[in-house]
Amino acid sequence: MTDHKMSLTRRRLLGTVGAAAAVSPFAINIVRAQESKIKIGFPVPLTGPYGAEAEDQVRAAQVAIAEFNEAGGLAGRMAELLVRDDKLNPGEAATRTLELIENDKVNFIVGSLSAAVQLAVNNVTKQRKVIFNSISQSDAINEVADFSPYTFHEALNPHMTAGAVGRYAFQKFGKKVVFLTADYAYGTEMVTGFREAGKAFNIEVMGDIRHPIGATDFSTLLPRIQAMKPDILCISNFGRDQQIALKQATDFGMKKQMKIIAPILLYTGRIAAGEAAFEGVIGGTSYYWGIENKIASAKAFNDRFRKMFAGKVPSDYGSLAYGGVKTLLMGAKNAGSTDAEKVIPAVEALKYDYYKGPQYYRKCDHQSVQSVFIIESKTAPKDNPTDVFNVIAIDEPNEANLRSCEVLGHKA
Amino acid sequence: MLRVEKLNAWYGASHVLQDVSLEVNRGEIVCLIGRNGAGKTTTIKSIMGLMERTSGSVTFEGHELLGRPAHERFAHGLAYVPEERRIVTGLTVRENLRLGLVSSPNRKKEAELIDRTAEIFPRLAERLDQTAITMSGGEQQMLAIARALISDPKLVMLDEPSEGIMPVLVDEMFELFQNLKAGGTTILLVEQNVELALGVADRAYVLDQGSVVHHATGAALLADAEIQERYCSV
Amino acid sequence: MTDLADNSAKRLAPSGFLEFARRHRTLLAALFLLVFPLLVPFKALAVNILIYGLYALGFNLLFGYLGLLSFGHSALFGAGAYICGILMVHVGMPWWAGVLLGCVAGAAMAAIIGTFAIRTSGIYFAMVTLALSQCIYYVFYQATGLTGGENGLRGVNVEMISIFGLRLNFVDPLTRYYVVAAFVIVALWILSRILASPFGAVIESVRENEARARASGYDVRRVRLVTFILSGAFCGLAGALQAIHLSIVPIELMHYETSGLVVMMALLGGMGTFFGPFVGAAVFLLLENLVSLWTVHWQLFVGAVFVVCVLFFPRGIWGSILHAMEKK
Amino acid sequence: MAGLSLELIGLQLFAGLALGSVYVLLAIGLSLIFGMLTVVNFAHGAFFMLGAYVGLWLLSIGVNFWICLVAVPLIVGGFGLAVERTLIRPLYGRGIDYPLLLTFGLSYIIVELVRIVFGKSGYPVATPDALQGAVDIGVGYFPLYRLFVMGVTALILVGLWLFLERTRYGLIIRAGARDAQIVRVLGVNISRVWLMVFGLGCGIAGLGGLLAAPLQGVIPEMGGPILAEAFVVTVVGGMGSLMGAVLAGLLVGVVVSMTSLFAPEMAKVAIFALMAVVLLIRPQGFFGRAGLMS
Amino acid sequence: MSVDAEVILRTESVSKVFGGFTALRDISVDFRRGAITSIIGPNGAGKSTYFNLLSGAFAPTSGRVFFEGRDVTGLPQHRFAHMGVAKSFQITNVFPQLTTHENIRVAAQALQTCFDMWRPRAARRDLIDAADALLHLVGLADRRDRLAGTLAHGEQRALEIGMALASRPRLLLLDEPTAGMSPEETRSMMDLIVKLASERTVILVEHKMKLVMGISNRLLVLHHGELLAEGTPDDIRHNEDVKRVYLGKREH
């Protein structure tokens, strides 16, 4: 595989000359020769606070590309990954996606990390009928307003993770629940997921405290939560918000008073925030490398990843990128074409187990139906600093745990 | 003691001092007179090192000062009392006086020097611990002068000390200048109140449009109605 | 257009091409914009440059020409984008109505902020506009039903547009570029006329000497407010064009970093010059694009460029070029 | 409202003051620098972040936390000195915009350099052993470490106050902030004073970063949000006023904590709303000088 | 308040207090139409404060100001120009980055149009011509296209007067118009003032008493914020109080 960045740079330099040949608005899309590479645009937030996650996404995507190419590609057509920095900004992501589609003429787009970015990318791709496989979380992307036949969602959505964690926690730790929620769509979607799951357990919601996204201090919110004396505190936020909230809740001695759960715990976040803050916290994840002793495909994926990247293990968001790229490439291979109209039914038809057990895309909203792992953070053993979670339960793939197609506005 | 030769100064692009040359001898009171905008203030600001761009020569006791920063010129024994009595109004009178000593080697004797100053300026003695803003204009001017004197400078330059001050206080101030002179302090004075200034001055320079146009003893100038009319008319 | 419109003109004896260029600056700019997409790595970036260039021009009307530093222009830019988007998505208005009303919305937002902020000046004006724009940011952030909140507003889609019976495919990048360029050129022309008008003279005189302008009989506050509103109209238009270009409106458009961005662009290009802000926007975006392809540490380069510019090219890029030409 | 009691309000008030004390630490440095140099230091957040990283690095090589409390402000302050000497000094007399833009660019550079050296992901910083746990403050339990932060802030304030009011240098700074020229003609090398003040402000910001590290961990972007908040505090208090910075810092802390109690999602907008209201009523802030910079 | 056609401007016991300091105390004066009235007094007497009250730069703390019988107390500054009051400043106050011609043109434009933002400036031939005429009047015709900031001090003062005249005022207020001028410049400025006074009322603030004695119809003497004397030049010349504080300096 050539270094895509190098070749891009060269093209840029030639661009001022070369572009003159392609100015005619009618000449678009003619030059898409069959023997050319399969190009996958990959916008992820390389800069900004999720740079570490994004780098792991790139790594895992490269694993999928390498496997595809080693297996001979699509009748000899090799795949290529075009990485772009979306800077965690939807506007930048939309611009980058336009560049990938209009300039680089990519066949598929996979990527994104934040909800807003994935919705922005999706809006651009669906208008241009380019397949996009989103690898970040959102409930909105399943809904009819944002969904299109070109939209796939390999990642979990908040409803699924919160539901799985809720079903596990409410029966175990108690019914009195307080939410500490980031005040934006993703946060409220997680709370909705918990509440839906909680109905079966008759949970009592004592409070839902919203904090502004990007908060660095929770000390003014925590005393009130303590005063409510709940059994369970659901910290429904993400990334750094979550790390700081957990750290400060620990400082306030809240872990002794209540069980803290989170819909999603990030591997990279746990590494960054350290064991003390996460100790004993229970949450959900789409993937944890430690599942490899139970699931064969996970073992294969981890080994391949370790081999390519000096013994590193893939993170949760990384593995989603692997799945997202792999499914589209396999769909193309099965369809024998990169034509979107042919690839879509092929991907819809996939029943796959690439890295975490059986999965498939639901027909109506192209949501990947998959398992959710319930994990508990622990102190890593001395000899293996990557061993930070115990997988304490597996919520098996089940369409019944998803919001129904009707609820989402699709004609089932 | 102070020798200024071919001093030029600029505000931005405008050339405001042109080849100003003057001398101040030890123990003298020398006065700069001239109309508003004639360059008097600019001259002493240049001597003190407060102008951005200057050329020529300013020597003080044989040291070339041009190009040296203001604080070094202070260290050589120059003191400057700017116009509009620039005391620091948020500070007390005592603090303003202390400010006069912050970089003087005399600061070890601070208490003693403040006591001595209080004797010379009885009006300040009463209000040492008041905020300076509570004082009248004349008292503020006295404070500004006292602050410049407390470090025992060799040469004091004063810019329009009598401006906007009650006549009684002006008289008091000019008496002070004469006393200072008697005590060995050298004074370079810029004054609008020409008659009064020339009355105490040993010598005076007349400035007009950024140049020295006339130079004579105070008494001679006081008698020269034509020069006064031409360059200082009120 | 007379040479009165541009200060730098007066320092120069009228001479040959320079004088011609000055008189017909909109025309020359239009010609340049026709070939501009060929010089840029990709069309979407060229469109972004047009839009941010217009945003910076609007900002410069207030900062460079009137001398008021605003840190709240993101609210004007964002208002244009959101109102255009909301009217198209929720009300179903045609794209052109959305764009025009987006422009109006920018002006209206400027009127609201301006009414409060215009009482202050200097660094406090910057801070009041910052504070008010942040409040407006939260209003739009919270109104998720209309704006999509954190997720942003999606679906501001324009597929085909027809102008005088001519049907154009707006999804096509080059077509999109020329449609946006047409708006920008008209805006440039209008701005150029405003600056050359009697009111343009009033703006300059208020910047030059507020007390004198007041004594001459100008209501300085109203002049400021009207200029702020005009600035808002240009920024609102830029915002609306951004909405139909990207087909989304991210909440980030409203954030104060978007205000800071335009300040940087104007200073980088040269505030108070007609094209400076446009040049600043172009250089900034191109630089960011190129450097971020080489390295993820592009912010290091961006930061360094600013430090170097401030230290060694305080007139900005365009300002330095003009200055060098005048010296010859 | 569930669980609302007098104790809770008291605890909330206290949490607000504790939060405010971090704002104060940032704002006094900003205010000192602005009041003295009329430089709006946009890199102040970067210095805060730098303090946290320098602390992280020192702790990782085995320096104990208490020594860090002294070493970090010295190192960050020293860096501030270098910045003033090389980058900011050439800009004096060129208006307020240029230092503002320069420090803005500088903050990009500092943040990116930290990313290059320390990586993009954050690191946890453990609360020092002696300061772990919570103590009863009468209205409820409060983390000991936060009390410690309040204590350090109070100490810095008292120290700064004594320095400014009782020492020769303090006198120079107070006078120099009002009239730099007078101080020059009284023999003070004002550029050296400006240098020291910039270093002092940056040093205090660095200390703030070190103190914040155990509260929130360290990441390269941690200076951004706190800078915005510190700006609000400085502006509300009156730019250049230390007293204003202290009162406004505590006020902003309390406003945040009280909004958190009743409408937590509005906590962030409350800060800016407060600033807008204060500035519209009193454009120069609580203790600012009218007409400054206008 | 009866409209007295002879009185163009009247202050009724106006006072001005700045943060506890009384700069002006209880001054009542009628200014006659068509006369040159000079306000004199030593530095710090409150001349400039009084001038600023007359020109509307700020409102009095107490008392009232009437222009042509109309109460104008506290009206914003820009309204004064529209009523027919123009002023020049004590410190030179022009638009430095605009040309000399543009300075006057902008000032002339103020009473006609402010928010005309469409037509080119060149289309307003009348304003351009008016500005040229005024340049001629104040003797700056050959400086037409110079940036005002580059003019000599005396020229800038003349330009200011031109700008003040551009609004065709009935009352012209001049604050130390000869400050910092050479004797030649001063003389031509005085000639200009006399010429201007033939068509409009002029109120002059001056530091140099001898200068205005010859040209003024009436004089006001301020001292420590109070009105010390008022009358014709002869009255003032012989007033004992005035002699004491101003003319006679001190009798040693």
The tally of domains found in chain D comes to 1
Asked whether residue B188 carries a pLDDT value surpassing 90, the answer given is: yes
Which residues are within 8 A (CB) of E102 and not within 5 positions of it... i.e. 6 or more apart? C4, C10, C201, E95, E131
Token pair of B177 as six digits = 């200048």
- CA-to-CA distance for A411 and B113, rounded, in angstroms? 95
| Closest by Cβ to E116, choosing from C198, C212, C220 | C198
Q: What's the mean per-residue pLDDT of chain A?
A: 89
Q: For chain E, which chains pass the contact test of at least 3 CB pairs under 8 Å?
A: B, C
Which residue's structure tokens are 């981890």? A302
Q: Is residue D34 situated within a structural domain?
A: yes
The burial of B204, by beta-carbon neighbours within 10 Å (0-12 exposed, 13-18 middle, 19 or more buried), is given as: buried
- CA-to-CA distance for C322 and A402, rounded, in angstroms? 63
Token pair of E79 as six digits = 């309204």
Per residue in A221-276, pLDDT (tens digit) is 998 899 899 999 999 999 889 999 999 999 888 999 999 999 999 999 898 888 88
Q: CB–CB of E30/E69 below 8 Å?
A: no
Q: Which residue has the higher pLDDT, D57 or B128?
A: D57
DSSP symbols for B63-119: EE-TTS-HHHHHHTTEEEE-SS----TTSBHHHHHHHTTTTSGGGGGHHHHHHHHHH
Asked whether residue B103 carries a pLDDT value surpassing 80, the answer given is: yes
Tell me what pLDDT residue D289 has. Answer: 66
Taking CA atoms, what residue in B is nearest to D167?
Answer: B102
Confidence of residue B234 (pLDDT cuts 50, 70, 90): very low
Instruction: Choose the mutation target among B88, B101, B108, B150 for the interface with D, i.e. most D CBs under 10 Å.
Output: B88
Tell me what pLDDT residue B13 has. Answer: 67
Q: For chain B, which chains pass the contact test of at least 3 CB pairs under 8 Å?
A: D, E
DSSP symbols for E217-230: SEEEEEETTEEEEE
- CA-to-CA distance for D219 and D49, rounded, in angstroms? 8
* CA distance to partner chain E, nearest, from residue C237 (Å): 19
Token pair of D276 as six digits = 């807008």
Instruction: Choose the mutation target among C205, C223, C226, C326 for the interface with E, i.e. most E CBs under 10 Å.
Output: C205
Per residue in C226-283, pLDDT (tens digit) is 999 999 999 999 999 999 999 999 999 999 889 989 988 998 898 889 999 999 999 9
Q: Is residue D5 situated within a structural domain?
A: no
Taking CA atoms, what residue in B is nearest to E211?
Answer: B234
Asked whether residue A21 carries a pLDDT value surpassing 70, the answer given is: no
C-alpha dihedral sign at B83, B84, B88, B92: positive
* CA distance to partner chain E, nearest, from residue B158 (Å): 17
Q: What's the mean per-residue pLDDT of chain C?
A: 89
Helix spans in A252-361 (H): 267-273, 275-278, 296-308, 316-335, 340-348
**Domains, chain B, ordered by start:** 2-77+154-231 (3.40.50.300), 87-151 (no CATH)
Tell me what pLDDT residue D29 has. Answer: 92
Helix spans in chain B (H): 40-48, 70-75, 93-99, 110-120, 122-125, 137-149, 167-182, 194-200, 218-223, 225-232
Tell me what pLDDT residue C16 has. Answer: 66
Q: What torsion, rounded to 10 degrees, do the Cα atoms E153, E154, E156, E157 define? A: 120
Confidence of residue B87 (pLDDT cuts 50, 70, 90): confident
**D167 touches B: beta carbon within 8 Å:** no
Q: Inspect the interface and report whether the beta carbons of E98 and C196 lie closer than 8 Å.
A: no
Asked whether residue C46 carries a pLDDT value surpassing 80, the answer given is: yes
Q: Inspect the interface and report whether the beta carbons of D272 and C138 lie closer than 8 Å.
A: yes
**D239 touches A: beta carbon within 8 Å:** no
Q: Which long-range contacts (CB under 8 A, 24 or more apart) does B59-63 make?
A: B59/B2, B59/B3, B59/B5, B60/B1, B60/B2, B60/B3, B60/B155, B61/B1, B61/B154
Tell me what pLDDT residue E4 has. Answer: 58
- Report the 10 Å Cβ neighbour count for B90: 15
Token pair of B13 as six digits = 């692009």
Q: Inspect the interface and report whether the beta carbons of C307 and D87 lie closer than 8 Å.
A: yes
Tell me what pLDDT residue E246 has. Answer: 62
**Domains, chain A, ordered by start:** 35-156+290-370 (3.40.50.2300), 159-285 (3.40.50.2300)
Token pair of A218 as six digits = 């929770």
Taking CA atoms, what residue in C is nearest to D112?
Answer: C300
- CA-to-CA distance for A121 and D225, rounded, in angstroms? 27
Mean pLDDT of A304-311: 95
Asked whether residue D239 carries a pLDDT value surpassing 90, the answer given is: no
- CA-to-CA distance for C209 and E109, rounded, in angstroms? 16
Could you say which residues from 75 to 114 on chain D have a Cβ atom under 8 Å away from some Cβ of chain C? Answer: 87, 90-91, 94, 96-98, 101-102, 104-109, 111-113
Helix axes A51-70 and A296-308, enclosed angle (nearest 10)? 100
| Closest by Cβ to C120, choosing from D107, D116, D279 | D279
Q: Inspect the interface and report whether the beta carbons of D217 and A221 lie closer than 8 Å.
A: no
Which residues from chain C sit within 8 angstroms of residue A47, using beta carbons? 292, 296, 298-299
Say whether the A–E interface has 3 or more Cβ pairs within 8 Å.
no
C-alpha dihedral sign at A142, A146, A152, A155: negative
Mean pLDDT of B178-205: 89
Confidence of residue A35 (pLDDT cuts 50, 70, 90): low
* CA distance to partner chain D, nearest, from residue B124 (Å): 19
Token pair of B215 as six digits = 């130079």
Encoded amino acid at A212, one letter: P
| Closest by Cβ to D115, choosing from C297, C302, C305 | C297
Confidence of residue C87 (pLDDT cuts 50, 70, 90): very high
Confidence of residue D268 (pLDDT cuts 50, 70, 90): confident
Per residue in D45-84, pLDDT (tens digit) is 999 999 999 999 999 999 999 999 999 999 999 999 999 9
Confidence of residue D226 (pLDDT cuts 50, 70, 90): confident
Q: Which residues of C touch A (CB under 8 A)?
A: 37-39, 41-45, 48, 144, 148-152, 154-155, 157, 159, 169, 171-175, 242, 246-248, 250-253, 290, 292-294, 296, 298-299
Backbone angles phi, psi at C42, to 5 degrees: -150, 155
Say whether the C–B interface has 3 or more Cβ pairs within 8 Å.
no
Q: What's the mean per-residue pLDDT of chain B?
A: 87
Instruction: Choose the mutation target among C150, C174, C244 for the interface with A, i.e. most A CBs under 10 Å.
Output: C150
Digitized pLDDT (tens) for each residue of chain E, 252 residues in all: 445 568 999 999 999 988 667 889 999 999 999 899 999 887 678 888 899 999 998 899 999 999 998 999 999 989 999 999 998 887 778 999 999 999 999 999 998 888 888 888 888 899 999 999 999 999 899 999 999 988 887 888 889 999 999 989 999 999 888 877 777 778 888 888 998 888 899 999 987 777 788 889 999 998 888 898 999 999 988 888 887 776 544 433
The rounded radius of gyration (Å) of the Cα atoms in chain C is 19
Q: Inspect the interface and report whether the beta carbons of E57 and C215 lie closer than 8 Å.
A: yes
- CA-to-CA distance for A249 and C326, rounded, in angstroms? 64
The CA distances from residue A221 to A208, D14, D250, in Å, are 11, 12, 17
Confidence of residue A33 (pLDDT cuts 50, 70, 90): very low
Closest CA to A320 of A126, A166, A181, A161: A161
**Domains, chain E, ordered by start:** 1-78+207-252 (3.40.50.300)
Tell me what pLDDT residue A24 has. Answer: 34
- CA-to-CA distance for D14 and A190, rounded, in angstroms? 31
Q: For chain C, which chains pass the contact test of at least 3 CB pairs under 8 Å?
A: A, D, E
Least confident among B183-187, D248-252, D279-283: D279-283
Instruction: Choose the mutation target among E77, E90, E144, E170 for the interface with C, i.e. most C CBs under 10 Å.
Output: E77
Q: CB–CB of E175/E205 below 8 Å?
A: yes
Least confident among A27-31, A407-411, C30-34, D271-275: A27-31
Tell me what pLDDT residue C98 has. Answer: 96
Distance of CA C43 to the CA centre of its chain: 19
Q: Inspect the interface and report whether the beta carbons of E43 and B164 lie closer than 8 Å.
A: yes
